[in-house]
Amino acid sequence: MTRGFPTDLSEPAGFAGAPDARLIAQMANAFFQAAPGQSGGGQSAPSIGVAPPSVPLIEAAPSGGLVPPGVPAPPSVGTITTVPALPQVGPLAAAPAAPPVNPTSAPPVPVPGEADLRVIPNLLGAAISLVPPDHASGPAIPNGTPEVPPTALPNLPGPPEPFALPASSPSAPLYFLDEAQGVSSRAEPAAPRSPSVDPGILGIELRPELVPDLRGTSARTGAFDAHAVKRDFPILQQQVHGKPLIWLDNAATTQKPRQVIERLSRFYEHENSNIHRAAHALAARSTDAYEAAREKTRRFVNAGSTEEIIFVRGATEGINLIAKAWGARNVKDGDEIVVTWLEHHANIVPWQQLCAQTGARLRVAPVDDSGQIILEEYEKLLGPRTRLVSLTQVSNALGTVTPAAEMTAMAHRHGAVVLVDGAQAVSHMPVDVQALDCDFYVFSGHKVFAPTGIGAVFGKKAILDQMPPWQGGGNMIADVTFEKTVYQPAPARFEAGTGNIADAVGLGAAIDYVESIGMATISAWEQELLVYGTEGLLSVPGLRLIGTAKDKAGVLSFVLDGCRTEDVGKALDREGIAVRSGHHCAQPILRRFGLEATVRPSLAFYNTFEDLDALVNALLRIQSGRGQR
């Protein structure tokens, strides 16, 4: 529910029911002064090398008019300007004190402080919503930056001209003031409403559809608090070699939140049983938990049905399942399988084995010097003999995000089946297998904050129904005689024996956890970390980044002149910083760059700017120590 602000404003002649423009400016200033790094509220932002997004700053002359309690009066300027992106974030000058306000005529507007920044969007929403009802729309400045015309200045006759602000994304949840609690709530987008006037209340209505979507912008604006998230991970609270642990080896495996650990414990304490095979209570509980995890996995990748989700040990087992069950039946002598230079060994070796068994040919799509696939060369490899394209969505060695949907469409035009290896994608970005239109998708649970030894295969149902099982045993059969076995339909057909029941349940808990944060929020935060970390690493003398594609996920592979990667890894470990040094099970792509190994810091949403500062400072000390010898 939205509500207006009961006020007792003095209205200019001919502008009945409209607020003074100064109140709009003052409330907007409260928003920006409450943001982290600004005077007037919030915590100071760290000094970083990432330019913050440009944000509007409203300033108005403070001659008279009401000011909400606790909102400082702004300086005397009468335009809306845009703060340019700067390399450092620093505090603004403190504003002068506000004039006294009659508390009975203007109830307090919530102003966020250091303890809680979640209501920041409401202040902006309140300011935007105070646009006069009779002037709900107006011309925008040609360059897209809204501006208050001179008629908005105080002591000038006539109503102020309106200004236009961009609306939120239609698909994004919006924020509004809760009437009962005065805090932000979320609502689904709605069509713009006509302003209305309640009896006894000034004709001002909050317009949540006009509030910009501030989620995922950064922890500096209160949208995401990586420090709070880190407290959910018990392992990250320890010290290594007397230093706080900084985990930057997330591409190898991610750490587990308390919620996942506790779910595993609860399963073994209250639900442990084999599934699908007994009538007792624990079997029912275990089966329910296991199948609930399958449904969560389906939702996580947006598969059409749980019949399209197969539990496996991880992406490696998933690829081998497809190579054996689908490949052995569909790939023949003279056929071709296409992969890319970016692939993990797990997406190369099974196809080499299949080619050796069938006489098929393995072809490889090249990458450019930034580490991005050259699409024109990839398309040249496709033809009537192409049976399968198997590609990574995110490179584990370079962080390159491939154009997987476009590559899938190209392959389908040539009649090929497409497998996407999502092991490095699922922790960094939203995944939608229906939008990708891939035929298979595989990922590992331990890369997305779940236990090891569990993962999933998505396969289109029409294809899975035509595939034979790749292992035999219990659970995957409908009927067995000595003459014949009848198999279960997918997915049970591909889950022979007692599966990893508890860790499948743990995978479901991990999916619940990341979805409670939001994959879009996680992706946005990690992109900030990636930009910040890239700039920091490039400040280290003699450091060369490997993999500089425009579209990247949170991987920062590098080499340091005159240093063995193993020695750099050991030196960082003494600082409490865990990174990966080596070939990362992706030797072909490193050799494409003339290397056998790199140092690979890799990011997750619990990493912070301070973690990256510690990494850069440690590398600078390593270089300094070498120079002194």
Kind and range of the H or E run holding 609: helix 609-628
Nearest Cα neighbor of 401 from 543, 514, 554 is 554
Nearest Cα neighbor of 328 from 349, 358, 352 is 358
Yes or no: say if 60 and 22 are a contact pair by the CB < 8 Å rule.
yes
Rounding to the nearest 10 degrees, give the CA dihedral for residues 610, 614, 617, 618. Answer: -170
Nearest Cα neighbor of 123 from 138, 135, 112, 113 is 112
522-525 LR contacts (CB < 8 Å, sep 24+): 522/427, 522/428, 522/429, 522/605, 523/216, 523/428, 523/429, 523/430, 524/215, 524/216, 524/217, 524/218, 524/223, 524/224, 525/216, 525/218, 525/219, 525/224, 525/226, 525/605
Helix intervals (H) in 132-256: 226-230
First to last CA, the chain: 68
CA distances 526 to 47, 181, 217, 412, 608, Å, are 18, 32, 10, 32, 9
Beta partners for residue 113, in sequence order: none
What is the distance between the alpha carbons of residues 335 and 325, in angstroms, rounded to a whole number?
17
What is the distance between the alpha carbons of residues 175 and 212, in angstroms, rounded to a whole number?
9
What is the distance between the alpha carbons of residues 126 and 136, in angstroms, rounded to a whole number?
14
Q: E strands, 241-366, where?
A: 243-244, 246-247, 309-312, 336-340, 361-365
What is the distance between the alpha carbons of residues 542 and 444, in angstroms, rounded to a whole number?
35
Query: Using alpha carbons only, how large is the chain's radius of gyration in Å?
Result: 29
Nearest Cα neighbor of 23 from 36, 39, 38, 4 is 4
Catalytic residue among 355, 438, 563, 585: 585
> Does the annotation mark 438 as catalytic?
no
Angle of CA points 349, 352, 358, to nearest 5°: 140
Residues designated as active site: 585
